[in-house]
Structure 1
Amino acid sequence: MKTSQNIVRESLKELSEYFKSTDFSKAILLGIALTIPIIVGIKLDMLEIGITITIGAMLASPSDVSGGIRHKITGILLATLLSMIISFIGSYLHLSLWLLFPALGILMFSISYLAIYGFRASLISFSGLFALVLSFSNISNDLQPYERMLLIGVGGLWYASLSLLRHYIFPKAPTEYYLSITIKLTADYLRTRGHLVKEKNDRAELLKKLLHLQTELTTTHETLREILISSRKGSGKSDYEGKRMLIFAQLIDMLELAMTNPVNYSKTDELFKKNPKQLDDFQALLFAMSDRLMTISDYLSKPKRLPKSTAIESYLECVKKDVFSSEVVYDEDSLMLRNLYKYQKEQVKKIEKIEWLLSNPDRRQIPFIKHVYAKRFLTKENYDFEVLIENFNLKSPIFKHSLRIATITMIGYGVGIIFKIQNPYWILLTLIVIMRPTFGLTKTRSIERTVGTLIGGVLAVAIVLITQNTIVYGVLAITSLIVAFSMIQRNYRASATFITLSVVFIYALLQPDTFTVIQFRVIDTAIGAGLATLGNLLLWPAWEIESMQKTLVKSLHANRIYLEEIISYYNKKGEVSDKYKVARKKAFLEMSDLSSAFQRMTQEPKSKQKNLDKVYEIAMLNHTFLSSLASLSTYILNNPTTPATDNFNKVSNRIVENLKFAEAILSLEKHSEINRELVEPEDIFEVTYGKSINLSEVDGSEKNKELVSILEEEHLIREQLKWLLEMSKKIPKVLMETQF
């Protein structure tokens, strides 16, 4: 049970992390970007010009996401350019309803379709949609269309300059923040692994949590990778960036190490039942490593204050005594324990390396990663025109989403006009914010947006009843806006609450009838949320099961390439190739995408959750397969190994063939077209490796140390191959039973 003191401490810690986050600093920046033009406009009696510049800054801000500064500024400038063009066109749409509706639909589709180019393009696309919606408002109507367009451009440049200024004043802030988050997520991953060791724990729930953590980690890795590699490219060789890059490399290796697991938990459960102290010591070691990483994360920006700790060394020594006890009998259990110990020892070395890098060592001792090598790991988007052509069909989720949002916005604006809604563009604003390519996310956002708006409306009514002070309204409007933007990624419901408060207080400054504003705000949000949900449900719906085959193929293919690189390294030895590390990264990313796809599927209507149990089984098989690959590769990379045997190559090649078969099942429309026997004519594993390892010649003498080392290798390779082979047989069978 958590004490009230612990709850308060954790709450204060979360609040402290919130204030340190890049979301909060960006929100502060946006607050400055929005308020200064308005204040200057009031002082110079040019309020309308100030408001339009503020709109330009707001339209540029969505593209200000973490990543390389060059990509960030390019995104902001492209968002500004698109917003200028769309604002200019939108200024003429009100001239005729016959022109307005088809033009609205075409523009909405075209702008939304730009999201086909990836995440940053989707943010630029949102700026264009936002600009189109704001062109329907009565803001800055006294300005000529070309004047409004140019002032929006000024606002975008104003925001870009502030973003650049923030980067040069706090160049290390994004790196420190995302590196700290990565360390904390890795610590949480290790702690969850520690809980998984105990048989009494709910392993199904813990495995789900593990999948979620892995998804978060791979996403954060991608962001941090771009920040580190791009910043080094921009600023030349930097000791600071070089050390952070090496720390990041240790964390990537730690994730692979943390994924390593026993072949199956039933064996470890049986072993630890006989020796409960061994279980307690292994678990305590994992928890100690997790705690140490949490401490390192807290002191990342001030490493000299990092407190010393010997907890990890103490627990590692306990585990060592358990494993290498004088009474130990050489059997398969003892070999499994030895290999588990080796994994944990490697993990401890990674933590020690991180602490050493933070201790400001002599740069001549640091093996810096070359930029030419590092940039190979950046994920590149394909911006060719052919991408637009290839996806211009109903098989593309983005194409369907663009059609859907175009149709629903026309309907939404029509509803606003027919029922004489005070601000019908609020319906459009709700639609572009809520609607997403998938039903699950749209439904969740609709609920959170509606609930948040209602809470914001109630709070606004209470504040308006208590005070009618315009200064209070102004302060609350700015504060609410900053909090709202800082919470968009963290808590969308809270963000919707503060956006409502901000909008109400801004209108309260402009017109006296605040309660009418609140009323229409709630009505417009409810209409927009309802239309968004219905649109995703009825118009060209993109159910996750429709794209699940493609997602599974990518994950299986990435796992197969990763396995092939492991086989290649085990046969050739020597330096670890770039191809191996890229394959590992790809396998982790594709597994993360598969996990996310499954989560989205669970949010869809029950009638559309086709073969959910089977899909979950396949996802878990993929995850377990990847964990086993991590176990195999980690051992091979971190231990001196004997030459790969013919048995290893025969079994591993059979596993590769089984994975190719699974990919073929997913790629072909009819399973009957695949002519291959699922049941092997012989048990290849038993033919090659036999049923067990011969341990009769082993004793505890000094002369048998080398033999024991060879047997440890044979045991791990044998057990992991057997497990991989079983899973590679099971995956096609489950796929054959699944209807997509």
Structure 2
Amino acid sequence: MKSSKNILFSSLKDLSEFFKSTDFSKAILLGIALTLPIIAGVKLDALQIGITITVGALLASPSDVSGSIRHKTTGILFATLLAMLVSLIGGYLHLSLWLLFPILGILMFAISYISIYGFRASLISFSGLFALVLSFSNVSGSGMEPYERMLLIGIGGLWYASVALLWHFIFPKAPTEYYLSKTLKLTADYLKTRGELVAETTDRTELLKKLLNLQTDLTNIHETLRDILIASRTGSGKSDYEGKRLLIFVQLVDMLELAMANPVNYTKTDAFFEKKPAQLADFQGLLFAMSSRLNVIAANISTPKRLRDNTKIEEFHKKIKNDISKYASASNETFDENLLLLKNLFKYQKEQIKKIEKIEWLLKNPAQRELSLLKKEDSRRFLTKQNYDFEVLTENFNLRSPIFKHSLRLAVMTMIGYGVGILFSVQNPYWILLTLIVIMRPTFGLTKTRSKERTIGTLIGGALAVGIVLLTQNTTVYGILAIGSLVIAFSMVQRNYKAAATFITLSVVFIYALMRPDIFNVIQYRVMDTLIGAGLATLGNLILWPAWEIQGMQKTLLETIKANRIYLEEIINFYNKKGNVPSEYKVARKKAFLEMSDLSAAFQRMTQEPKSKQKSLDKVYEITVLNHTFLSSMASLSTYILNNPTTPASKNFNKVSESIIQNLSEAEGILKEEIEQNPSENTSQENEPVSHSEDLFDATFGKSIIFSEEEKASQSEGFHSKIEEAHLVREQLKWLLTMSAKMPKLLRETQF
């Protein structure tokens, strides 16, 4: 019974979150933008004009994704322009089949190739592809001249842009609140998973995979928030609200770095906490309490006055403090490694508590004068800029480019798909093309997943449509269901594609039911066309210039290791120079997190491919986890030196740091194929890099920390701080050196 209540509560919570999401609000916006022109067309006895304007609004809508209003508006206008141009060309495509097929292939390739310019460009490209497919249908513009249809589609695009702008001015804070809330929840999940990892002593594989996925989701949302908060701020000047939200976002980025930070490796923590389970429970309880608090803040981000004082975090804070005091009293050693381990772990948790307190303080509307806002010049550096130079097109115009191969593949499969539709006298051959452009993705794994979800969703939608048609033949009901299904479908596309496909099918069936009596034939052909399109999409990705993930893994790994090296160099520079944290450091950190996220996503896609194509999967997983651990270790080192007064960097520190940088540079050289990759020479001595790095470290730093008798006798606060610093820096450097030495060896053993 309790389990049923939990499931019900979880479902209601998910439903509530869905209604608050930007996906749902955009679907409502789209529903309004699509419905009003048709209503106006009916009232003015110009239904065909109304439908064509609606099609224009539909074609403009894909590029309306979260980000700054300037980027959104630009995307919508470019999508409208492309849709107009393609619709005009499509209007003259009803020529002889000998001309139609090559022109169709060339257009499909050219429009799809635009997506080489990034995510928003891929959405504009989809609008163009969609417009081309619709030019084969009789949905709109029958009896119109192509230029008239083009102009009405343009009006539809401008209408959608106007509605989107009006919606933004009515609800300007909605995207920011939603994505900040989502970031808080994901950060809470990250802390909770960290807490579970601390206690897990047998197999951490699944938890580490979950951690990698959460990190990927977080870095993606961070990018969206940067675009919303920084791009809009640099374009429109300072705003109290945006300034505060930007500072909350800064705290959340720092929290991710803190959450990633792992002051010591798990081997040592496991050995210690095995003897002290109560202290483990307290550390874990604090992480869970912080996770819970972040969820509470996320739920009340728009109503901070509802936030009540938190007691659980303070309780665990006091417990851990007492645990450490008791342990310190019982220990007679001047240099107790376990005591330092506890103190360093506690320092990281205290910093995390400060970040949560700062977020709450910022939410409770402090006076503007109390805020220290980022300078425009500095904040701009955190935006990821897309290169729109013409050279990008020419550089990728070859079979090494996944987007080039995808565009070529899509062009061939759409020609085949349309040919199959004509050959078998399919009722609506353009449905096959529509299925192809929606399902086909540059990688096999994503295409296979979409094909499966689209097929299942269409079958479910078809079955539901049959049931509803058998229950009622009321056209008013069909009209309501068509609009309602379309709104739900668009709100579910990013969240659950299977559900989206179900509602798209329902919407299409009921739209056709309003226009023609043979609804069962419509359902039958809809299912058949989807099956043909899904089959062709999967087959195309399998046999036509397949882009297996391992082929691009070399470049992905190179970018990740390079970003890690630059981030480490910034940490070393700061430790040597001290002073204020430079913006170069934060930009390098952002880049390292993003590249790690890309590597994790690439590995996940690799696991979705056929077993025969999962070349060196175990090695790739090992390298992915190694890079994640390396980044965590760097985060530990940087977090400590940023938040604590530190002594001058020693020659030994710089000497070992240099060796780590050299190891990473060697790994980059192997991936660039500048250094000969010969696995046979390295496989015989498996532990050689590890033992060599340990010898190098011990020769440089010595086997233990040595303090003078005078320092030991002083027992001052400064002395204890020196011990903590020496211990953490030493541990992290040793750990980084070991991992960096292992990287070239693993890369030499991996067959790309």
Whether TM exceeds 0.5 here: the answer is: yes
Structure 1 match to 2:330: 327
Structure 1 match to 2:716: 704
**1:427-506 to 2 correspondences below 5 Å:** 427-506=432-511
AA partner of residue 712 (structure 1): E
- For the pair 1:715 / 2:727, whether they are aligned, the reply is yes
Structure 2 match to 1:131: 131
Correspondent of 1:730 among 727, 731, 742: 742
Structure 1 match to 2:524: 519
1:113/1:640 Cα in 2 relative to 1: closer, same or farther (>3 Å)? Answer: same
Provide Cα deviations, 1:415-469, integer angstroms capped at 9, x if missing partner: 0000000000000000000000000000000000000000000000000000001
- Deviation at residue 671 of structure 1 after TM alignment: 2.0
AA partner of residue 516 (structure 2): Q
**1:66-145 to 2 correspondences below 5 Å:** 66-139=66-139, 140-145=141-146
AA partner of residue 280 (structure 2): L
Secondary structure at the residue paired with 1:379? coil
Correspondent of 1:549 among 535, 551, 554: 554
**1:138-177 to 2 correspondences below 5 Å:** 138-139=138-139, 140-177=141-178
1:365/1:121 Cα in 2 relative to 1: closer, same or farther (>3 Å)? Answer: same
Structure 2 match to 1:38: 38
AA partner of residue 512 (structure 1): P
Structure 1 match to 2:651: 646
Whole-angstrom distance in 1 between the partners of 2:718 and 2:237: 47
**1:121-270 to 2 correspondences below 5 Å:** 121-139=121-139, 140-200=141-201, 202-270=203-271
* Alignment check: 8 A CA contact 2:567 2:588 kept: yes
Structure 2 match to 1:402: 407
- Deviation at residue 199 of structure 1 after TM alignment: 2.9
- For the pair 1:558 / 2:559, whether they are aligned, the reply is no
- Deviation at residue 267 of structure 1 after TM alignment: 0.8
Whole-angstrom distance in 1 between the partners of 2:318 and 2:373: 31
Structure 2 match to 1:302: 303
Whole-angstrom distance in 2 between the partners of 1:396 and 1:671: 24
The TM-score with structure 1 as length reference comes to 0.98
Whole-angstrom distance in 2 between the partners of 1:681 and 1:264: 16
Provide Cα deviations, 1:462-493, integer angstroms capped at 9, x if missing partner: 00000001111000000000000000000000
* Alignment check: 8 A CA contact 2:22 2:178 kept: yes
* Alignment check: 8 A CA contact 1:698 1:707 kept: no
AA partner of residue 308 (structure 1): D
Structure 2 match to 1:603: 608
Whole-angstrom distance in 2 between the partners of 1:385 and 1:260: 41
Whole-angstrom distance in 2 between the partners of 1:237 and 1:82: 34
- Deviation at residue 98 of structure 1 after TM alignment: 1.5
Whole-angstrom distance in 2 between the partners of 1:622 and 1:509: 57
* Alignment check: 8 A CA contact 1:421 1:520 kept: yes
Structure 2 match to 1:587: 592
Secondary structure at the residue paired with 2:330? coil
- For the pair 1:538 / 2:550, whether they are aligned, the reply is no
AA partner of residue 53 (structure 1): I
Structure 2 match to 1:628: 633
Whole-angstrom distance in 2 between the partners of 1:567 and 1:208: 29
- Deviation at residue 88 of structure 1 after TM alignment: 0.5
Whole-angstrom distance in 1 between the partners of 2:212 and 2:638: 20
AA partner of residue 221 (structure 2): T
Whole-angstrom distance in 1 between the partners of 2:693 and 2:502: 64
Whole-angstrom distance in 2 between the partners of 1:263 and 1:365: 37
Whole-angstrom distance in 1 between the partners of 2:345 and 2:221: 28
* Alignment check: 8 A CA contact 1:191 1:290 kept: yes
AA partner of residue 521 (structure 1): R
1:88/1:581 Cα in 2 relative to 1: closer, same or farther (>3 Å)? Answer: same
**1:2-13 to 2 correspondences below 5 Å:** 3-13=3-13
- Deviation at residue 688 of structure 1 after TM alignment: 1.3
- Deviation at residue 706 of structure 1 after TM alignment: 1.7
* Alignment check: 8 A CA contact 1:422 1:520 kept: yes
Provide Cα deviations, 1:87-111, integer angstroms capped at 9, x if missing partner: 0100111122111101000000000
Correspondent of 1:425 among 423, 427, 430: 430
Secondary structure at the residue paired with 2:400? coil
Structure 1 match to 2:685: none
Whole-angstrom distance in 1 between the partners of 2:169 and 2:290: 35
Structure 1 match to 2:573: 568
Whole-angstrom distance in 1 between the partners of 2:562 and 2:537: 35
AA partner of residue 736 (structure 1): R
- Deviation at residue 689 of structure 1 after TM alignment: 1.3
Secondary structure at the residue paired with 1:392? coil
- Deviation at residue 682 of structure 1 after TM alignment: 8.7
Consecutive aligned runs of 4 or more in structure 1 exceeding 4 Å deviation: 676-682, 695-702
Q: In structure 1, list runs of 5 or more residues that go unmatched.
A: none
AA partner of residue 467 (structure 1): T
Structure 1 match to 2:290: 289
AA partner of residue 734 (structure 1): L
1:513/1:329 Cα in 2 relative to 1: closer, same or farther (>3 Å)? Answer: farther
AA partner of residue 385 (structure 1): F
**1:366-385 to 2 correspondences below 5 Å:** 366-385=371-390
Provide Cα deviations, 1:394-430, integer angstroms capped at 9, x if missing partner: 0000000000000000000000000000000000000
Provide Cα deviations, 1:533-575, integer angstroms capped at 9, x if missing partner: 0000000111110110000000000000000000000000001
1:154/1:329 Cα in 2 relative to 1: closer, same or farther (>3 Å)? Answer: farther
Whole-angstrom distance in 1 between the partners of 2:322 and 2:488: 53
- Deviation at residue 667 of structure 1 after TM alignment: 0.6
1:531/1:667 Cα in 2 relative to 1: closer, same or farther (>3 Å)? Answer: same
* Alignment check: 8 A CA contact 1:90 1:136 kept: yes
* Alignment check: 8 A CA contact 1:262 1:268 kept: no
Question: For this pair of structures, how many residues does the alignment match?
Answer: 740
- Deviation at residue 3 of structure 1 after TM alignment: 2.5
- Deviation at residue 230 of structure 1 after TM alignment: 2.0
Secondary structure at the residue paired with 1:576? coil
1:697/1:465 Cα in 2 relative to 1: closer, same or farther (>3 Å)? Answer: farther
* Alignment check: 8 A CA contact 2:233 2:242 kept: yes
Structure 2 match to 1:22: 22
Whole-angstrom distance in 2 between the partners of 1:715 and 1:495: 54
- Deviation at residue 704 of structure 1 after TM alignment: 3.1
Secondary structure at the residue paired with 1:93? coil
- Deviation at residue 324 of structure 1 after TM alignment: 2.4
Secondary structure at the residue paired with 2:142? coil
Whole-angstrom distance in 2 between the partners of 1:427 and 1:270: 60
* Alignment check: 8 A CA contact 2:31 2:483 kept: yes
The worse-fitting range, judged by mean Cα deviation, of 66-75 and 362-371 is 362-371
CA RMSD of aligned residues (A): 1.8
Correspondent of 1:349 among 354, 362, 373: 354
1:682/1:55 Cα in 2 relative to 1: closer, same or farther (>3 Å)? Answer: closer
Whole-angstrom distance in 2 between the partners of 1:537 and 1:608: 11
Whole-angstrom distance in 1 between the partners of 2:712 and 2:160: 71
AA partner of residue 479 (structure 2): G
Secondary structure at the residue paired with 1:324? helix
- Deviation at residue 12 of structure 1 after TM alignment: 1.1
* Alignment check: 8 A CA contact 1:698 1:708 kept: no
* Alignment check: 8 A CA contact 1:33 1:162 kept: yes
Whole-angstrom distance in 1 between the partners of 2:707 and 2:24: 60
AA partner of residue 327 (structure 1): A
Whole-angstrom distance in 2 between the partners of 1:315 and 1:739: 48
